[in-house]
């Protein structure tokens, strides 16, 4: 008993209680649906629905409790202590929510529970089985959290938390992860429809109902991946938007499987084909989400990924979850495989059906190859020492795949289900073909001389042009209805062009700029104007003037700043976007012009022509600092200095002001007699040392930057927007269809009853 | 039959692609090796180690970052050169993984990619005070 009470006393009970309730209501939901299946009673179904409602409510409550603890900065709770801190602004408390494993499972569960309320409404007659499987997928996450409780308390009350990883302190990181988790949660929906259909032998109708969900998951995942890429590009400063890192791949693989699923479902809807394959696609999409989570969250890749997590005891549970659902899916697939009704393939070669098959196989191959690459450390572990494959693997393998995809895409708009003659297609393709040839020649004249790249550009442009032609044609006939798919394909063509131009033909130069001295990079001239110190939440920035003869000069502000808590240097690039290219200026190194001084009490050092002696901190600079600290009020500390310059010694006291409530630090520069200024750039309370930065005293400041020109990179983002728009149109269309069919069915049932 | 020939063609294409993927896979594999093994410089490998304090510098003329990695087990040192933007968290890392190839002429490990690990700080792995 004492064991139990000691366990309980280390939990934040309201939160833990909400979580336990969720587990109980999840069980009740499943029991209710099982009863409904066994007896066919409506009462059991009503019970199950109500239980699900309570389950969803408990999960929302659990998440609300966690947010509240973070907002209140209740550091008694281990999770809050680990990921939050006093200096973290309130809106970053949301990032802290999903910074750790437990929190990310909680947000996943949160979306899953909410989506379930909608799934129930769209499930139709097979609701008990569908919701049973769906609740089971959530149940796994609930049990992981019950075991690895996020509400564990430390047993003491620290005054401050460890703080949030500075890389996550970014606006994109506030919204990118939760959207990703909506996508993850949504992937369980088509899976549940498929498994329930196999289980109950209801092979008809699941595909239609799952179709809008599959499209929705595809869209959300696509949006999240776009945002992640955008974040990497705009803030990380390594110059790209995609690095084939395991964490990135973990979201891209389900996206590819999801793409095969929506094409498969389209085939089933239009032609009654692909009925077996769609079960496999729904299975693979969900399992790949679990597998990706397993790879990135279990610690197996800890030595291989930039942002993989170390194992915190969850890996065993994740393995169980992954293994359990894989076995369940495989079992049902094998058991029912022979029973699933199929249509024989009688499509002629040049027909839309055959090309859809080829396209899905190609995407499937891409997904499998990327999965293999991401799993390399696991695959090679068996043989010898674990190895990973570099980005070159993915880049080389994807080039032929992309070329094939572009080829298939460019023909799709002219193919009918019945089949076509080649001459007929060729005639229709004259104008788009001429356009593609013109673009390819232009590219060759510009600077593309690689044959593969030229073929790539030819086919990508062709795909773009033919699909655009068809989109416009469809729009003229029936409005936006039915144009979504073609529009999405236009986006694929646009992206392919953007990728090849921006990553194959970018030009990068590294230069070191001395303050005030212009340097030429190509036809541009760069001048490092000044260093702008931290001001409020605005980080330290460098102002660089960029000018070109005959054009208006402009300023860019790359940032290289110190995270005050961890004392790490962080770099943010600045991007100047024009119609045809991005100018990407990424800071590499900043030399403030003299060695920064770190002085312990009583020590002296030299900055430029000055001798500086640190005699101690002044805690009475503006009121008593200790009293203010204890009260959580703004604290001002002075650094007592004796500065000797040109034989004369003066006592100076630059200030360091900290507002614990907002985490804001102010370090007003103190002007020095004889020119220049001094700033207290940091204080170290544990060893009583001070860090001083001087400006304008010694040698000039220098800034090293990487200047990259990325042609046509806008096309990557533009293409992604088009795909998302096209997918959205399709989803609206499929939802409308489901609704119309339901109304027809209702009308029929009504007539019968009358 | 024409259709069978098509399947055969498709199958062969898939097989060819599988072969291509496999060779690319083995070519671009970067095994984890000891510094000693890395010094042979015959292929792209990855090495891990702790950043030697104060060894980091940026050389303007060569547009490169220089630093020394220390193997925590063997206490061996490896001088690394990296042509790129310094990753965030760099100085704070408990472990740095460098992927690249050893250059016998300069006696430096030329890194193409760096992975910076600082898990203990943010994962709070060592904070376990409850029983």
Do the chains contact at A400 and B20, CB–CB below 8 Å? yes
Task: Provide the pLDDT confidence category of residue B117 given band limits of 50, 70 and 90.
Answer: low
CA pair distance A674, A697, nearest whole angstrom: 9
Interface test with B, best of A510, A514, A598 (most B CBs within 10 A): A510
- What is the domain range of residue A98? 1-164
pLDDT value of position A1: 54
Query: In A, residues 487-546, which contact B (CB 8 Å cutoff)?
Result: 510, 512
At A104, which helix (H) or strand (E)? helix A101-122
Among A315, A354, A393, A572, pick the best mutation site for testing chain B contact (most B Cβ within 10 A).
A393
Mean pLDDT of chain B: 77
Contacts of B14 in chain A (CB under 8 A): 361, 365
Give the per-residue pLDDT at A568. 63
Of A126, A145, A164, the one marking the end of a domain is A164
Cβ-defined contact of B65 to A78 (cutoff 8 Å): no
- Between A37-46, A72-81, A302-311, A529-538, the lowest mean confidence (pLDDT) is in A302-311
Residue A285 · residue A187 · CB < 8 Å:
yes
Q: How many CA atoms lie within 13 A of A723 on its CB side?
A: 25
Pairing mode, strands A689-695 and A597-599:
antiparallel
Question: Is A11 inside a domain boundary?
Answer: yes
Q: Touching check for A700 and chain B: CB below 8 Å?
A: no
The reply to whether A417 touches chain B by the CB within 8 Å rule is: no
Domain boundary residue, one of A118, A142, A164 = A164
pLDDT classification of A91: cutoffs 50, 70, 90: confident
pLDDT at residue A537 greater than cutoff 90: no
Question: What is the per-residue pLDDT for A261?
Answer: 97
The answer to whether B72 contacts chain A (CB < 8 Å) is: no
Q: Tell whether B30 lies on the interface with A, counting CB pairs under 8 A.
A: yes
Rounded alpha-carbon distances, angstroms, from residue A728 to A217, A287, B41: 11, 24, 51
Q: Is A304 on the interface with B (CB under 8 A)?
A: yes
Q: How many CA atoms lie within 13 A of A415 on its CB side?
A: 18
Residue B131 has pLDDT above 50, yes or no: no
Instruction: Give dist(CA B60, CA A114) in Å, integer.
Output: 54
Q: Does the distance separating the beta carbons of A10 and B86 come in below 8 Å?
A: no
Residue A148, pLDDT score: 87
Q: Does B34 touch chain A (CB under 8 A)?
A: no
Instruction: Write out pLDDT tens, residues A661-683.
Output: 776 777 888 887 777 788 887 78
Note the ipTM here: 0.75
- Between chains, do B89 and A166 touch, taking CB under 8 Å as contact? yes
The CATH number, out of the four listed (2.40.50.140, 2.30.30.30, 2.60.40.420, 3.40.50.2020), of the domain defined by the range B31-123: 2.40.50.140
Question: What pLDDT shows up at residue A246?
Answer: 85
- Would you say how long chain B is, in residues? 131
The three-class DSSP label of residue B103 is strand
| Count of A-B CB contacts under 8 Å | 152
Give the pLDDT of residue A27: 97
The span from the CA of A702 to the CA of A531, in Å, is: 10
Classify the phi-psi angles of B103: left when phi > 0, otherwise alpha if psi is within -120 to 50, otherwise beta: beta
Residue A74 lies in a domain: yes
Whether A306 and A244 have beta carbons less than 8 Å apart is answered as no
Residue A312 has pLDDT above 60, yes or no: no
Report the length, in residues, of chain A: 754
Residue A346: per-residue pLDDT? 77
Number of domains in chain A: 2
Beta-carbon separation of B88 and A167 below 8 A:
yes
A193-241 pLDDT, tens digit per residue, is 999 999 999 999 899 999 999 999 999 999 999 999 998 898 877 778 8
User: What percentage of chain A exceeds 70 in pLDDT?
Assistant: 94
Distance CA A149, CA A107 (A): 14
Do A730 and A265 meet the contact criterion of CB atoms below 8 Å apart?
no
For residue A348, the model assigns a pLDDT of: 84
Quote the pLDDT of residue A81. 92
Q: Over the stretch A491-517, which tens digit does the pLDDT of each residue have?
A: 999 999 999 999 889 888 888 888 888
Q: Do A387 and B44 touch (CB under 8 A)?
A: no
Q: How far is A537 from chain B (nearest CA, A)?
A: 19
Contact of A589 with chain B, judged by CB distance below 8 Å, is answered with yes
pLDDT at A254 over 90: yes
Q: Which pair of tokens denotes residue A676?
A: 């220049």
* Average pLDDT over chain A, rounded to an integer: 88
* B122 interaction partners in chain A (CB closer than 8 Å): 82-83, 99, 162-165
Tokens of B93: 């890392």
Token pair belonging to A452: 């593969």
Q: Quote the CA–CA distance of A64 and A114 in Å, as a whole number.
A: 14
Residue from A294, A311, A317 nearest A145 by CA: A317
- Mention every residue, 6+ apart, whose C-beta is less than 8 A from residue B74: B34, B35
Residue with tokens 């930057």: A705
Strands B108-117 and A524-532, by their bridges, are: unpaired
Kindly determine whether residue B127 and residue A165, on different chains, have CB atoms separated by under 8 Å.
no
What per-residue confidence (pLDDT) applies to B128?
25
Q: Within an 8 Å CB–CB cutoff, is residue A78 touching chain B? A: yes
Buried b (16+ CB within 10 A) or exposed e, A153-192: bbeeeeeebbbbbbbbbbebbbebbbbbbbbbbbbbbbbb
DSSP class per residue in B10-69: HHHHHHHHHHHHHHHHHHTEEEB--HHHHTT-SS-EEEEEEEPTT--EEETTTTEEEEEE
In whole angstroms, what is the distance from residue A337 CA to residue A332 CA?
A: 8
**Cα–Cα distance measured from residue B82 to residue B47, given in angstroms and rounded to the nearest whole number:** 13
Q: Is the pLDDT of residue B127 over 70?
A: no
B119 pLDDT exceeds 50?
no
Identity of the residue in B6, B113, B123 whose CB atom sits nearest the CB atom of A310: B123
**Cβ-Cβ contacts under 8 Å, A567 against chain B:** 91-92
Q: Where residue A313 falls among pLDDT bands split at 50, 70, 90?
A: low
Query: CA-CA distance, A166 to B47, in Å (whole number)?
Result: 26
Q: Which residues of A touch B121 (CB under 8 A)?
A: 162, 566
Residues of A in contact with B65 (CB under 8 A): 588-589
Dig out the tokens for A410 from the structure. Answer: 């460019």
Distance from CA of A390 to the nearest CA of B (A): 6
A697 phi and psi angles, rounded to 5 deg: -105, -50
Contact B85 A512 (CB under 8 A): no
End residue of a domain, out of A164, A181, A204: A164
**Domain ranges across chain B:** 1-29, 31-123
* pTM of the predicted model as reported, rounded to 2 decimal places: 0.84
A576 interface with B at CB cutoff 8 Å: no
**Which candidate from A302, A391, A510 shows the least CB-CB separation from B63?**
A510
Which residues lie below 8 Å from residue B12, measured CB to CB, with a gap of 6+? none
Per-residue exposure over A103-137, b if at least 16 CB sit within 10 Å of its own CB, e if not: bbbbbbbbbbbbbbeebbebbbebbbbbbbbbbbb
What is the spatial distance between Cα A531 and Cα A528, in angstroms, rounded to a whole number? 8
Rg, C-alpha atoms of chain A = 30
What's the rounded Cα separation, in Å, for the pair A207 and A279?
Answer: 9
Is the model more confident about B40 or about A383? B40
| CB < 8 Å to B83, chain A | 510
Contact assignment for B88 to A571 by CB distance below 8 Å: yes
Return the pLDDT at A302: 63
Do the chains contact at B58 and A586, CB–CB below 8 Å? no
Q: What is the pLDDT of residues B41-63, one digit of tens each?
A: 888 888 888 888 777 777 767 77
Residue-wise over A532-543: b if at least 16 C-beta within 10 A, else e?
A: ebbeeeebbbbb
DSSP string, A711-734: ETTHHHHHHHHHHHHHHHHHHHHH
């Amino acid at each position: 008993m004492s064991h139990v009470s000691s366990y309980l006393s280390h939990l934040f009970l309201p939160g833990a209680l909400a979580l336990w309730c969720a587990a109980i209501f999840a069980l009740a939901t499943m029991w209710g649906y099982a009863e409904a299946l066994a007896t066919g009673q409506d009462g059991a179904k009503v019970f199950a629905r109500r239980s699900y409602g309570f389950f969803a409510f408990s999960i929302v409550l659990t998440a609300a409790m966690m947010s509240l603890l973070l907002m209140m900065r209740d550091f008694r709770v281990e999770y809050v202590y680990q990921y939050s801190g006093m200096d973290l602004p309130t809106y970053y408390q949301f990032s802290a929510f999903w910074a750790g494993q437990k929190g990310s499972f909680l947000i996943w569960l949160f979306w899953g529970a909410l989506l379930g309320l909608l799934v129930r409404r769209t499930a139709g007659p097979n609701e008990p089985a569908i919701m049973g499987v769906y609740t089971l997928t959530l149940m796994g996450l609930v049990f992981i959290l019950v075991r690895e409780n996020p509400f564990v308390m430390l047993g003491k009350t620290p005054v401050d938390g460890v703080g949030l990883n500075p890389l996550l302190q970014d606006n994109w990181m506030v919204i990118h992860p939760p959207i990703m988790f909506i996508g993850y949660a949504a992937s369980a929906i088509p899976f549940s429809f498929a498994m329930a259909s196999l289980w109950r032998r209801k092979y008809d109708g699941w595909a239609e109902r799952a179709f809008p969900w599959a499209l929705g998951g595809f869209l959300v995942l696509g949006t999240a991946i776009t945002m992640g890429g955008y974040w990497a590009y705009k803030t990380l400063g390594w110059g790209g938007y995609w690095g084939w890192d395991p964490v990135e791949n973990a979201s891209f693989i389900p996206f590819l499987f999801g793409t095969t699923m929506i094409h498969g479902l389209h085939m089933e809807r239009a032609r009654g084909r692909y009925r077996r394959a769609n079960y496999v696609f729904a299975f693979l999409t969900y399992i790949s989400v679990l597998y990706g989570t397993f790879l990135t969250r279990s610690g197996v890749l800890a030595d291989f990924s930039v942002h993989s997590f170390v194992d915190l005891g969850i890996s065993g549970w994740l393995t169980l979850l992954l293994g359990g659902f894989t076995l369940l899916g495989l079992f049902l697939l094998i058991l029912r495989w022979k029973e699933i009704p199929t249509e024989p393939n009688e499509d002629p070669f040049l027909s839309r059906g055959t090309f859809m098959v080829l396209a899905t196989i190609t995407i499937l191959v891409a997904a499998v190859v990327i999965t293999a690459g991401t799993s390399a450390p696991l695959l090679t572990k068996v043989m010898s020492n674990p190895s990973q494959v570099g980005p070159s693997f993915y880049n080389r393998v994807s080039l032929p795949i992309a070329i094939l995809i572009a080829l298939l895409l460019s023909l799709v708009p002219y193919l009918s289900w019945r089949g076509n003659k080649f001459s007929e297609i060729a005639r229709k393709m004259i104008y788009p073909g001429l356009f593609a040839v013109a673009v390819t020649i232009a590219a060759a004249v510009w600077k593309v001389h690689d044959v593969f790249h030229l073929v790539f550009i030819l086919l990508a442009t062709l795909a773009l042009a033919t699909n655009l032609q068809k989109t416009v044609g469809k729009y003229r006939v029936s409005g936006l209805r039915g144009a979504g798919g073609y529009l999405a394909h236009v986006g694929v063509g646009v992206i392919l062009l953007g990728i090849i131009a921006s990553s194959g033909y970018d030009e990068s130069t590294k230069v070191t700029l001395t303050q005030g001295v212009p340097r030429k990079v190509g036809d541009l001239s760069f001048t490092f104007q000044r260093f702008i110190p931290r001001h409020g939440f605005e980080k330290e920035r460098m102002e660089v003037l960029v000018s070109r003869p005959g054009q208006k000069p402009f300023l860019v502000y790359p940032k290289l700043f110190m995270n005050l808590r961890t004392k790490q240097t962080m770099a943010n690039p600045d991007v100047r976007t024009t119609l045809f290219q991005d100018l990407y200026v990424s800071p590499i190194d900043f030399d403030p012009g003299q060695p920064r001084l770190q002085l312990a009490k009583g020590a002296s050092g030299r900055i430029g022509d000055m001798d500086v002696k640190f005699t101690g901190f002044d805690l009475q600079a503006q009121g008593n600092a200790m009293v203010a600290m204890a009260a959580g009020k703004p604290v001002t500390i002075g650094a007592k200095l004796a500065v000797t310059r040109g034989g004369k010694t003066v006592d100076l006291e630059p200030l360091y002001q900290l507002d614990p409530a907002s985490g804001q630090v102010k370090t007003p520069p103190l002007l020095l007699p004889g020119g220049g200024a001094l700033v207290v750039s940091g204080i170290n309370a544990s060893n009583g040392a001070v860090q001083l930065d001087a400006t304008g005293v010694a040698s000039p400041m220098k800034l090293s930057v990487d200047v990259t020109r990325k042609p046509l990179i806008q096309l990557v983002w533009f293409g992604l927007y088009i795909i998302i728009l096209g997918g959205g149109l399709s989803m609206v269309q499929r939802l409308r269809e489901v609704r119309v069919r339901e109304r027809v069915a209702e009308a029929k049932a009504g007539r019968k009853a009358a | 039959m024409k259709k069978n020939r098509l399947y055969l063609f498709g199958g062969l294409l898939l097989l060819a692609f599988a072969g291509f993927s496999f060779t690319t896979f083995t070519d671009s594999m970067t095994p984890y090796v000891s510094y000693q093994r890395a010094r042979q410089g015959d292929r792209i490998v990855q090495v891990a180690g702790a950043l030697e304090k104060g060894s980091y510098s940026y050389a303007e003329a060569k547009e490169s970052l220089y630093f020394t990695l220390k193997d925590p087990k063997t206490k061996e040192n490896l001088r690394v050169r990296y042509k790129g933007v310094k990753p965030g968290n760099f100085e704070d890392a408990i472990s740095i993984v460098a992927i690249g190839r050893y250059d016998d002429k300069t006696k430096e490990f030329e890194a193409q990619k760096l992975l910076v690990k600082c898990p203990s700080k943010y994962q709070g792995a060592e904070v376990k005070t409850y029983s």
